[in-house]
Structure 1
Amino acid sequence: VAALEQGFAVVKPAISVLTERELLGERAQQSRRRKRVARDPEAVIRDLTELAIGAPIVHVDHGVGRYQGLLKLDVGGADGEFLAIEYAKGDKLYVPVAQLHLVSRYSGTAPELAPLHSLGGEAWDRAKRRAAEKVRDVAAELLAIYAQREARAGTALAIDRLMYEQFAAAFPFEETPDQLQAIEAVISDLARTRPMDRVVCGDVGFGKTEVALRAAFVTAISGKQVGMLAPTTLLAQQHYQNFRDRLADWPIRVEVLSRFKSKKETSEVLAKLAEGQIDIIIGTHKLLQADVKFRDLGLLIVDEEQRFGVRQKEQLKRLRAEVDLLTLTATPIPRTLNMAMAGLRDLSIIATPPAHRLAVKTFIGHWDPALIREAFQRELQRGGQVYFLHNEVETIEKTARELEALVPDARVRIAHGQMPERELEQVMLDFYRQRFNVMVCTTIIESGIDVPSANTIVINRADKFGLAQLHQLRGRVGRSHHRAYAFLIVPDARSITVDAEKRLEALASLEDLGAGFTLATHDLEIRGAGELLGEEQSGQIEEVGFSMYRDMLDRAVRALKSGKVPDFDLTSEHEAEIALHVAALIPDDYLADVNARLTLYKRISSAADEDALRDLQVEMVDRFGLLPDQVKNLFALTELKLLATPLGIRKLELGANGGRVVFNAKPSIDPLTVIRMIQTLPKVYALDGQDKLKIKLQLEGTSERMRVAREIIGALSKRTAT
């Protein structure tokens, strides 16, 4: 008795057995409700959850200062909560929580190197001007690529939904919500005429390959060719096997170009590719060479983009304007992240781990024979295998002998890139088949074959690796339902650089599944945000911080698109300030965690519309219980701000004895409306100079002030009939 997915044919007796799945193209599946990890790319960068006292923070109007915590202050007889920022010379600024949209985390250089500004000084304005000049150039270059992509309309693929559903049904696992979202985004991109440029960011083993497979299937069935670029020969081979297995039932020809093929075999593959006899070709950067000719290339898939050099990326950039491009990465490099944030590349994040997956426990320590022996024995006693990463070929054999002496019952073999191809392939296959249990290797395993039984990795001299690389290496283990362990061996603190120490701390602190994207944002802070289009990875965005730079870039791109000169007046007068002297805050007894309060304040003040505010209220009730009056007031004030800002109101203030409305230089209000209000109720309204409307009313309670504020905004928004 067996659950058969595929049928078979027997010669004697001559009989063919077909399974239900092959006939119907579907299978019964228990759909589980999976908790989706919401990870909005922008939110990760702008999030205030990780703010520690003393961390650098940027205010749009005043520049970079240091965060000093949340304080409660009594202003005009009402309690309010304020974010304290300390600037150069000890000056303090208290930002009301309703204005937290003006504040963002400083990313751009190491926190201790952040340039502090003086309150009221000119240095911040100068820094903004310098950044603005740079942003104009970058925006123009971005738009050149945009225009190129828009002008060279690609081919919209005619997607055969029935065939696609049949292919998708053969996936032996249940898709995670994020994975499904990424797949749908890719397929809808392929159906558009505009060439796709999408980055799919997901941790090792989170299902990026299936996204690539489905994109390749849809493209190949539509009659176009697919190229897949992998950083190493071993990974190209692994992808080749996966693609061959998944596409075995379909009339799609898959081939691989790698150093394991002879010259004659390579020539044959290239000839067939040029004639269009090969539908999907997988290979290393050899695919980018001049002698590789496609008959009709429709889709290029790039796996682990950070492993390719600048020259290859430039070739990809040229292709990007013409063919659909799908990039898969576990930890996007700062420049990719930067481009995704700028809207130049679309981004899908797969942050939900597969069912039963456990996070990898990470330890940082010095070389200790007892610790290493214990790590090896724990893994070997449960029948598992161990990677020992030693990235120096000259001393790798000596290290292997030391490990054999340290753990006598281990069966040790060596693997590195200078071995003959066939020998290396054999070692990898023997390890996969569990013919030995300890592999002493170089970073050749970084994108190597998937070995579910290997669940301990020891990385010697971990301080010499980049953050993305360490995360990738850690992802070699923990690919099954067993708990996996990563040991990062480093010398004493005097021998390692400050950046290396930060990278290791970031890696150890982020053990969560799906942390690859967050790690990339840490990398962004450690290395700098990276030139958007140049060869430099670590860029010059230190002065204004990454969030501010992004805002300026967004404005520049929007302005240039509409044929205007970019306006970089980023002062806060663009947002209305609502001051009703009522208690508007999240009380400690409702939510004690300061960082969680900060994040919610930021999300409330940055809400784009009333629907977003409503969703936030529902979320808070769900997480923390019914909203206290102070929180309801906070939401009401934010809603009033959203209504008042488009009218050009700079400030609306109401207290016990009335108040005033202050307008911007060019409000979007019909002057006749204001005159009509004064004529109708002269005892209530009066003009005070060019830009102020005085209100004379006794307003004791909160509900009274809220009602009157709504009425005033409602009256000012009416257009007088001409």
Structure 2
Amino acid sequence: MTPPVEPEAALSSPLTPPLPQRPGERLLWGRLRGAARALAIAAAAQRHPGLVLALVEDVQAATRLRDALAFFLGDGADQGNIPLLGFPDWETLPYDVFSPLPELVSERLLTLHRLPGLKRGVLVVPVATLLQRLPPRDYVDGHSLVLAVGDRLDLDATRRRLERSGYSCVSQVMGHGEFAVRGSILDCFPMGSTEPLRIDLLDDEVDTIRTFDPETQRTRERLTQVRMLPAREFPLSEEAISGFRQRYRALFAGDPQASLIYREVSEGRTPGGLEYYLPLFFEQTATLFDYLPDGCLALEPEGCRDAGAAFLDGVQARYEQRRHDVERPLLPPTQVYLETDELAHRLKGLTGVRYERSELDERRKGYAEAHNFATLALPPLGIQARAAHPAQAIQDFLAIPGRRVLFVAEGLGRREMLNDHLRGFGINARPVAGWAAFLKGSNAVGLTVAPLEQGLWLAHPDLAIVTETQLYGERVRQDRRRRARERDGDAVVRNLTELTPGSPVVHEDHGVGRYLGLETLTVGGLTTEFLTLEYAKGDKLYVP
């Protein structure tokens, strides 16, 4: 049984989604429009006592959902009360000749290491990534190295162990998966770590462990203990290479020496794209399902399985195109990915919820309950610059008694600009720190910063989130995606003539401030006009 909802958790979200009450039970959620989907997932994470697995259709949807969850979970995500995890895709095409970035592999290995012991949290995963076959759990645990100050450390043995785990010995450590030995100092950039480590030895005892800046080589923070994960998702030990060679010869006919992959691995090297031969390094592979802790709740959007099936169709097509390359014979897709029926079987074994944007008219076979949320589709609220009353739609929307609206901007500079625009239309939006602060406050209209592209409208309570995109249309997205251009001096001058005291401005080095006007100062014997900017703390900046 799912534990009863604590009062604090129930009050932390205006949505209270029903959760399955028995292991293996599955529910349906309907009428989740716009950002209500992320809000419902965040509310479920606040109530569910275990891990929440949030599936999405693709990598882009995963990024959007993680951003939205970070906004709705607020301090809970920041403080680690409800950890927000991602399991990134390799971001390479199936059977590609390129390997994924070490930073992506680092995040994947860290997630695999944390998952089995995770008591609570949200894991966001694209369905294509969920289909990948992975190293078994004992590989990640068995190739992890825990070091603490005072431990005995044999440098030669540690060097060999790191190389077997896929680390590269270099002269100077700069990136993930590298290590260097200089006398009694071991530098290493462990997978799963944001900074490299410098381990100083006194004879064979670990004297200090410190993080350092790879650019300047200056040490930073002292640590008492560290855990180093393997450098790759497959081993490079002599035993693993021997197993790879045996499985390769059993699977592919012909002379193995004709294959670049076989020759390189036999020499202990890692050619690009070796990740797609991962099953040959292990007697048996695992999937992400094998890493999930007990009591996991799976949340699955409509169309997710269709997206998985379309991805597998693309994998099969790419396999047929490339399978005849003698130097790179390919493993069949079934050895690299789960099939659609396997995915359905594994999901069926989890307690779960399937949710849709449309309204559910009846309970469906295989689901214990169907629940429609009280969400509405936001009306057109765009500001019409050429109309007699440009903000009439949003003004009418705000005029309903008891309705609360939170406007969302993408950054501090855009927030100030949006605030000025709203004030020009007679709308007084009070800036708030985030979602939780808005809920706790009593202001009818709020303004905050969040990376949301979709808004939402709840019927009970009457509460809405309105984004910049809904106010200004696609122009906001186009501005955000446009690459930085070279400065045009004439354009800068023209912009300065349009500034009035009190206007918000964004300085590329100092951030958001307000323009106070021009001020004449004498500096070094020269009298010059300076632009005067004021910042939140009352500090002034003079720009020549």
TM beyond 0.5: no
Query: Please, what TM-score do these two structures have when normalized by structure 1?
Result: 0.25
Larger radius of gyration: 1
Q: Return the structure number with greater strand share.
A: 2
Query: Please, what TM-score do these two structures have when normalized by structure 2?
Result: 0.31
